[in-house]
Chains A and B, each alone.
Chain A
Amino acid sequence: MSMSTNDHSSSNQSTHLYVPHRQRELGWRVWVEMAAELFQARELLWRLIWRDVVARYKQSMLGIFSGMITPLAMMLVFSSLHHTKVIAHTASTTIPYPLYAYFGLLIWQMTSTGLSRATSSLVIASNLVGKVQFPRETLVLSSLGVAVFDLCLGLPALGFLLVYYDHPLHWTVLVIPLVLIIQLILISGLGMILSVMNAAMRDIGHFLPAFLLFWMFLTPIVYHPPETPFWRLLSWINPITALVTTARDLALIGTIKWSIPIFTSSLISLLIGLTGWRVFHQLEPRMAERV
């Protein structure tokens, strides 16, 4: 059995210094440190995403199809409700309803799965958090990996629907990844805050499904964006509204209808993302004790 030589000369050794309130002492340079840490841990992040995805699909009956089951099922339910006029069709768009609903539901599922998994990520990995040293952001961020993977797996059904309704796909669909990235930044920021709160107060994880349901109906996923000024303003306060609507419009219509909301929503998302990350990093030394 061969062992690679271990160079113990002091030439290439890193120094670790642990003092109380280290982050306060660093000041604004904390951001640099945070970014450097995350960059160094990129392989670990990828490996954790890989682990979750492989494990999920290994012992599953439907395999790669399980990603499209939920949005497909919900789309069928809402489509039938729409068809029987239970949900009123305030038509201001040329997109057939099932396609419209499925697109929105697909993106919403990414949000919902991502946020739920992120919130419980620290608690599930509590023995890791308490015993091994590594950047904890990777745990939260990797939990979003499965959500994104599910989104990709739901695309074939989208393709099928496009063909079925003979609806064109505009070239602006290539911009969608950018919109999705902004949405992911929003979810990761929220996820980081929620994961820490959940680790300390476990009932946050219990409230989350109800909150997500509430949020879903607040966003024009299965209905069209409201026209009346009051409700329209209310729906634009929700940052996801602009992101989902824009993504949908870019793919299926080709133009963006409202440019200001998308701009403000992106800004809010970025802000929440960075704040969440900073708070998370601040709380990292305490996690091992509290989780």
Chain B
Amino acid sequence: MIQVEGLSKKYCKDLKRAMRYAAEEVVRSFFHLYDYSNETLREDEFWSLNNVNFVVQPGEALGLIGPNGAGKSTLLKLLSGILEPDLGRIKLVGKVGSLIELGAGFHPQLTGRENIFVNGSILGLRHRDIIRRLDDIIAFASLEDFIDTPVKYYSSGMYVRLGFAIAAHVEPHILLVDEVLSVGDLAFQSRCLERIEQMRRQGTTFVFVSHDLSKISRLCPQTLLLDQGEIAFLGSTPQAIDCYRRITHRNYEESPGTKERTDEVEITGLEILDPSGQTPDAFDPQSTIHIRTHFRVYEKIKDPVFNIAIFTADTLQQCTGFRTDIDQHPIGSLSPGEHHFDLLLPECALLPNHYLVSATIWKPGCLAPFAWRWHDGRFQISGGQEISGICQLLHHWQT
């Protein structure tokens, strides 16, 4: 079980000042003088974690997600006891293991077998335990042929396999996993996940940090979302992921999309509307979406091509695109003035997510553009079942 109350940790940005503060703290605590420095921020200091509270019951798995710099690694290090909290308290019941650094203590000149003893000792295994599990570890890492060669000749994949094999056999009650599982090939990743799931079934408590949201949804029913050191959300994983997307989206909102114009044409705006002409906060799945592009023509143009592309907001993956020349929808000539064109998406099959829209007006032949606006329109589809993927295709079952 893990119990965290009011946990806060601060860091000093400036190196020289950090050393001075550290010296002060040491002298004060050595002579048992009261240290007020914990509660307030001195110059150049900032809270990397601020008032974090949560409980993980035995056997539960908690995911830990958040943007870079949110404090996830710091929290993990505090839980494993490497860092000391500045405020608050942490209580852990059970033997704690951490997968923060694979292959800790490995010496390149020593063989794999010898390094198993070193790393196992560092992770807390007794000598007799290491001997007992030695064959299992070697088998898990599939390194039977290379276990007696020096580790400096190992490929990075073998290195990581051995490191994980040892760590997986420590059998702690609580396991803290940092982003180590993102390295390694597909076979390794699936083996890691299998092993973690096996440990979960045996009742190990987990705290799992990852940027891979699909792994988190698969392994953790509950997730903690950290943003800039504070808890942004604590609860069911799908909601946490949605909140995470919204935060990322908000960061996009602060940086405007790029645009370009020529003397003839300028795109003045993008609107995403529902059939009644309103801009809703979010669209329901399978509802009709109108993408309206406003543009201004300065000199008469002939046969332009309109192009709309839709991207997912978090990964900027292009979902789909539409062009009037491919759809054989000729435009003809446009005289100077304000115009707009609409793209209608009846019963839009895109799955719940945040999306960005880019609009381009091309010269005839689609080789050079008149004007464009990238990632400028935004809309959100939400509701319905949480399904992975980009779109829901028309389908029916036949059994």
> Which A residues lie within 8 Å of B171 (CB)?
4, 6
Determine if B131 is an interface residue (Cβ-Cβ < 8 Å). no
Interface bits A277-291 vs B (CB < 8 Å: 1, else 0)? 001001101101110
Question: Which one of A3, A16, A24, A44 lies within 8 Å of B96 (CB-CB)?
Answer: A16
| One of B24-32, B221-229, B302-310, B331-339 at the interface | B24-32
Q: Within the complex, what minimum Cβ distance (angstroms) separates B157 from chain A?
A: 19
Chain A residues with CB under 8 A of B126: 43
The CA of A90 and the CA of B82, in the complex, are separated in Å by 56
Decide if B22 touches A131 in the complex (CB within 8 Å): no
Q: Are A288's CB and B77's CB within 8 A?
A: yes
Q: Using Cβ atoms and an 8 Å threshold, which residues of chain B touch A27?
A: 32
Known A19-B89, A20-B84: A8·B202 in contact at CB below 8 Å: yes
Residues of B within 8 A of A (CB): 11, 18-19, 22, 25-26, 29-30, 32, 35, 38, 58-59, 77-78, 80-96, 98, 100-101, 104-105, 107, 109-110, 114, 117-118, 121-124, 126-127, 132-133, 136, 139-140, 150, 171, 173, 198, 202-204
Contacts of B132 in A (CB 8 A): 4
**Bound complex: CA of A55 vs CA of B111, how far in Å?**
10
Chain A residues with CB under 8 A of B81:
16, 18, 133
What residues on B are CB-neighbors of A44 within 8 Å?
121-122
Q: Closest chain B residue to A290 by CB distance?
A: B22
28 contacts across the A-B interface (CB closer than 8 A): A1-B136, A4-B132, A6-B171, A6-B204, A8-B203, A10-B58, A13-B95, A18-B78, A18-B90, A18-B91, A19-B90, A20-B86, A21-B35, A23-B29, A44-B121, A47-B121, A51-B105, A51-B118, A131-B77, A132-B98, A132-B100, A132-B122, A201-B19, A279-B30, A283-B26, A286-B84, A288-B77, A289-B22
Does A22 count as interface, using CB distance less than 8 angstroms? yes
Enumerate chain A residues within 8 angstroms of B107, measured Cβ to Cβ: 51, 55
Query: Is B89's CB under 8 angstroms from A18's CB?
Result: yes
CB distance from B316 to the nearest CB of A (A): 32
Contacts of A24 in B (CB 8 A): 29, 32
In the docked arrangement, what's the CA distance between A187 and B114, Å?
29
A19–chain B nearest beta-carbon distance, Å: 5
Q: How distant is the Cα of A3 from the Cα of B136 in the complex, in angstroms?
A: 8
- Which residues of B have CB within 8 Å of A84? none
Shortest beta-carbon distance from A281 to chain B in Å: 10
Cβ of A212 under 8 Å from chain B: no
Contact B22 A200 (CB under 8 A): yes
For A21, the chain B residues whose CB sits under 8 A away are 29, 35, 38
Whole-angstrom CA separation of A4 from B131 in the bound complex: 13
- A20 close to B22 (CB less than 8 A): no
Extra contacts, 19 of them, besides A6-B171, A8-B202, A286-B22 (Cβ < 8 A), are A4-B132, A6-B203, A8-B59, A10-B58, A13-B173, A16-B90, A17-B91, A21-B38, A23-B29, A55-B109, A58-B150, A128-B104, A128-B105, A130-B77, A132-B101, A201-B19, A285-B84, A288-B77, A289-B22
A134 touches B (CB below 8 Å): yes
- Among A118-160, those with CB < 8 Å from B are 125, 127-128, 130-134
Contact check, B117 vs A47: say whether CB atoms are below 8 A apart: yes
Contacts of A43 in B (CB 8 A): 121, 126-127
Q: Is the CB of A127 within 8 A of B104?
A: yes
Q: How far apart sit A43 and B78, CA to CA, in the bound complex (Å)?
A: 25
A282 touches B101 (CB 8 A): no
Q: Which of B29, B85, B92, B203 is most buried by chain A, counting CB atoms within 10 A of its CB?
A: B29
Q: Residue of B at shortest CB range from A45?
A: B121
Label chain B's interface by main secondary structure. Answer: mixed
* A17 to B85 CA separation, bound complex (whole angstroms): 11
Instruction: Please name the 9 residue pairs, one residue from A and one from B, whose CB atoms are nearest each other, closest first.
Output: A285-B84, A131-B101, A47-B121, A8-B203, A18-B90, A16-B92, A13-B94, A55-B109, A44-B121
Question: Are B202 and A282 interface neighbours, CB within 8 A?
Answer: no
What chain A residues lie within 8 Å of B95 (beta carbons)?
13-14
In the complex the two chains form, what is the Cα distance from A3 to B22 in whole Å?
45
Residues on B with beta carbons closer than 8 Å to the beta carbon of A286: 22, 25-26, 84
Q: Which residues of B contact A15 (CB under 8 A)?
A: 91-93
Q: Are B118 and A133 in contact (CB under 8 A)?
A: no
Select B85's contact among A20, A59, A125, A279, beta carbons within 8 Å.
Answer: A20
How far does the alpha carbon of A122 sit from the alpha carbon of B96 in the complex, in Å?
23
Instruction: Collect the chain A residues with CB atoms within 8 Å of residue B22's CB.
Output: 200, 286, 289-290
State how many angstroms separate the Cβ of B92 from the closest Cβ of chain A.
4
Complex Cα distance, B175 from A177, in Å, reads 44
Q: Is A54 in the interface zone, CB < 8 Å from B?
A: yes
If A18-B89, A200-B19 touch, whether A2 touches B136 (CB-CB below 8 Å) is yes
Cβ-defined partner of B82 (8 Å) among A54, A130, A200:
A130
Q: Which one, A8, A16, A51, contacts B91 given CB within 8 A?
A: A16
Partner of A47, one of B88, B118, B150: B118
CA distance A227 to B139 in the complex (A): 68
> Would you call A272 an interface residue if the criterion is a C-beta within 8 Å of the partner chain's C-beta atoms?
no
Q: Which residues of A contact B83 (CB under 8 A)?
A: 285, 288-289
B140's nearest neighbour on chain A, judged by CB, is A1
Question: In angstroms, how far is the closest chain B Cβ from the Cβ of A34?
Answer: 14
With A51-B107, A290-B18 as known contacts, state yes or no: A133 contacts B82, CB within 8 Å: yes
| Chain B: minimal CB distance from A122 (Å) | 14
Q: When the two chains form their complex, are residues A131 and B100 in contact, meaning their CB atoms are under 8 A apart?
A: yes
- Select from chain B the residue with minimum beta-carbon distance to A56: B109
A11 to chain B, nearest CB (A): 11
Shortest A259–chain B CB gap in Å is: 35
Contacts of B122 in A (CB 8 A): 44, 128, 132, 134
Chain B: CB-nearest residue to A60: B109
- Kindly state whether residue A216 has any CB partner on chain B within 8 Å: no
Contacting residues, chain A, for B114 (C-beta < 8 A):
51, 54
In the bound complex, CA of A54 to CA of B171 (Å): 28
